[in-house]
Structure 1
Amino acid sequence: MVRSPTFYAYIVRQFLFWFIAVLLVLSGVIAVFEFVEFVRQVSAIPELPLSLAFTLAAFKLPSSIEILFHFAVLIAAMVTFWRMTRSRELVVARAAGLSAWQFLAPVIVTAMVLGVVKITVVNPISAAMYGRFERLDVDYLGGTGDIMKVAKTGFWLRQKDENGVAVIHAEKVSGNGDQLENAMFLLLKPDESYRGRIDGASARLKDGKWQITDAWVMDGNEPPQHVDSTTLPSNLTRNGIQERFASQQTISFWDLPDYVRNLESTGFSSTRYRIAYQSLLSQPLLMAAMILVAAAFSLRPGRRVDTVLMIVGAIVTGFSIFVLGDIVAALGRAGTLPVPMAAWATSGVAMLFGIAALLHLEDG
């Protein structure tokens, strides 16, 4: 078997150069569009400084870069192989006895390493910065801020209406996710000053209100009063509670396992977070698949019209893989598919497609 470490290092350098270049260009385009959108939102509130738009765009950009990662790998690999085919470098390599599988191997390994970097480094940075972006959105642009926080001691939920704010804590959830056990309702006025507190053995959400049983009610600074049952108005629904879980974009790869365990200990379903974690684990395989797809479209020399078709075909394929991932994940969250299949199916299908296309190109 012919080996050429020098040539392998050269093709990896070419791929990394184009990966960085493509990622910077795509990120720049996304950043401009997001900055313009935030300028529009900030300008609608006269007292806000324009610099806030830049800050919001900067904090949101890493989450966009995460989404662009596999597109950048695909386009960078395609440009690398196409340029080396046009310059006859790959033709000479093949004539020297190197097969496509041999010179693709180091690029595939490099892409998988990029996938590991994405989930272990880029994702935690993105999660931290997106969390900061959400807080700024709540503070300045009128975001709801009604986010559920899950911890080992239970969960915290904030609801807001015309009467003020209620900060809700419960140790556990039962039923269909609308019944709380050992619940505490801290009541605040619209200016978020203290209004009162209700502690109940249980609370059930129904008909636009919390039905709290075996409760101790404190109104302002008055002594607590025990009642068998009391109600508290609520604009929440059972589905609304589920929607107020922390965004997956704010939970890093390293924190997801603990978040899933805490969520399950409170009685909520952790399906979408387990899918998110497994999907992150599948990223190195997806990056490898992107290399094979790029090779299938760009290793064959052709005329200008063929080049255009190659670019369009590769971009459509990459976008289709992205859409397929969303569809399969949605089916997993709905319980139609098991979690491992929902998380790994997209990477597996992309890998099989790339291998099949490259086998057809190489062996006819």
Structure 2
Amino acid sequence: MRLPRVLAVYVGRVFLVSTLSVLGGLMAIVALFDVIELTRRAAGRPEVPFGALVEITALKLPFMTIEILPFALLLGGLVAFWRLTRTSELIVARAAGLSAWQFLAAPVAGGALLGLVAITVVSPVSAMFYTRAERLDSMLLRGGAGTLGLAAGGLWVKQRDDGLARGGAAILHGERIAAVTPDRLTLERVSVFRLGTDDRFLARIEAERAVLEPGRWRLEDAATVGLEGMGPRERAMVLPTDLTVARLQDGLAPPDTLSFWALPGFMKVLEEAGFSAQRHRLRFNALLALPLLAATMVLVAAGFSMRPARRGGVGLMIGAGVGAGFALFVLTKVVGEFGVSGTLPVALAAWTPAGVGLMLAVAMLLHLEDG
């Protein structure tokens, strides 16, 4: 029997209302805890107004929406399908000759659509607002360190260098960031290693200061150390570059501050500049997998909540569904760390949670339909 359009619209509406209500509740809870944490961190800074802490949390809300969406779909689906089962609407639909797969078509499509909207529409807004939130957090609560930071061994940057050998490379290391403005970066105690096309060492430049300006590095009080020894010190040297302060900041910023559309281009920039793009690649693949994960969560919710009430154990099944959702969350984090470390391919690490959840949901629904 073909699914009536009125029934599909009704089931889809019940599911979406339940999911959006749960999503709103979860976001309110997470925002409350975030404000409490920010208030704790600002306890020793009386100059930081409470309104600024609320603003930081508000700017994080689009990012929280993407992170919470799969669990909102799971919990919202559990509530919606439990309600439809408790009121015997699902039983009537089955008696009319409809299978669970037909009944779930609208909710699954709605869940996948929410995931698609999250990555294509919410993600750019999330990246813009989250970047602003991180800057406010840095300026007010972290002493103005900014999004450009140093690793334990200083800042390392790799770029093209056609000065001594066509197609060569230059590796620049600065021990300390002295100043950062939107169009200028100043490093102190800088070493530049110039390499040939076969990674053969050609020369080293030692400078007291390096300033990144549009189109060039300006090396101050610099001397070149070649195979014949150290040359005379010069007041200024110029090293051409296509890097900018914005690109470096985006490269050192977490992938959460980049939108779905911007991630592919930035991953290329990161790799050309010598940074690791593993976390950004994992984030991009995780966003790609979000519509599938969203649809999977709907199927998981259905598998754990469509048990007829007369059989008993409905509460236990719904509790098991919530537990399955948290288990999937833990799996996502654990497998993601394997992907970042390079133990697993990034694509496999990003798509595994959705794949595992999908197999679990399909198995449960097949048992529910035919078992």
Query: For the residues of structure 2 that align with 1:358 and 1:107, how far apart are their CA atoms?
Result: 15
Which residue of structure 2 lines up, in the alignment, with residue 22 of structure 1? 22
Which residue is 2:353 aligned to?
346
Contact 1:18 1:76 in 2 (8 A): yes
SS in 2 for 1:183: strand
Superposed CA deviations along residues 243-279 of structure 1, whole A, max 9, x for unmatched, are: x832111011011000111112223332222121111
Q: Aligned runs of 1:69-84 on 2, under 5 Å?
A: 69-84=69-84
Please point out which of 171, 177, 182 is paired with 2:159: 171
- Separation of aligned partners in 1, 2:179 and 2:255: 29
Deviations along 1:24-78, one digit per CA (max 9) or x if unpaired, are: 1111111111112222222321122221121121122322222210010011111
Match of 1:103 in 2: 103
Give the match's secondary structure for 2:204. strand
Distance 1:184 1:114, change over 3 A: same
Q: Match of 1:44? A: 44
- Quick one: distance in 2 between partners of 1:315 and 1:324? 14
Q: 1:313 aligned to 2:320?
A: yes
Cα distance between partner residues in 2 of 1:303 and 1:5: 29
Percent sequence identity over aligned pairs: 37
Report 1:46-65 matches (<5 A): 46-65=46-65
What residue identity is the alignment partner of 1:136?
L
Structure 2: distance between partners of 1:195 and 1:331? 35
What corresponds to 1:276 in structure 2? 283
- The normalised TM-score by structure 1 is 0.79
What is the CA–CA distance in structure 1 between the aligned matches of 2:285 and 2:92, rounded to whole Å?
A: 41
Q: Which runs of 4+ in 1 moved over 3 A?
A: 143-148, 158-161, 166-170, 182-201, 215-220, 222-225
**Closer/same/farther in 2, CA of residues 3 and 47 from structure 1, 3 Å limit:** closer
Are residues 1:226 and 2:223 paired?
Answer: yes
Q: After superposition, what is the alpha-carbon deviation per residue over 1:163-185, rounded to whole angstroms, capped at 9, x for unaligned?
A: xxx98765259xxxxxx825385
Query: Relative to structure 1, is the Cα distance of residues 341 and 184 closer, same or farther in structure 2, using a 3 angstrom cutoff?
Result: closer
Q: How does 1:78-157 map to 2 (within 5 A)?
A: 78-142=78-142, 145=145, 147-148=147-148
Residue 12 of structure 1, CA deviation: 0.4
Give 3-state SS (helix, strand or coil) of 2:309's partner. coil
What is the CA–CA distance in structure 2 between the aligned matches of 1:195 and 1:273, rounded to whole Å?
A: 26
CA distance in 2, matches of 1:93, 1:215: 77
Q: Give the 3-state SS of the residue equivalent to 1:43 in structure 2.
A: coil
1:247 partner letter: P
SS of the aligned residue for 2:42 comes to: helix
- Consecutive unaligned residues of structure 1, counting only runs of 5 or more, are 149-157, 174-179, 205-211, 231-240
Unaligned runs of 5+ in 2: 162-168, 196-202, 212-218, 234-247
Q: How many residues align?
A: 325
Cα shift at 1:300? 1.1
Question: What do residues 301-334 of structure 1 show as CA deviations (whole Å, max 9, x unaligned)?
Answer: 2269723212211111001111111111111122
The answer to whether the 8 A contact 1:43-1:50 is kept is: no
Residue of 199, 205, 210 corresponding to 1:214: 205
Amino acid at match of 1:341: L
**How well do the aligned residues superpose, as a CA RMSD in angstroms?**
3.5
What is the letter of the counterpart of residue 358 of structure 1? Answer: L
SS of the equivalent of 1:202 reads strand
Aligned to 1:202: 193
Aligned to 1:245: 252
Is the CA contact 2:139–2:146 (under 8 Å) kept in the aligned structure 1? no
Q: Distance in 2 between matches of 1:259 and 1:93?
A: 50
Report the Cα distance in structure 2 between the residues aligned to 1:90 and 1:34, rounded to whole angstroms: 39
The answer on whether the counterparts of 2:75 and 2:301 sit within 8 Å (CA) in structure 1 is yes
Q: Is the 8 A contact 2:190 2:210 kept in 1?
A: no
- For the residue of structure 2 that corresponds to 1:44, the secondary structure is coil
**Alignment partner of 1:337: what SS?**
coil
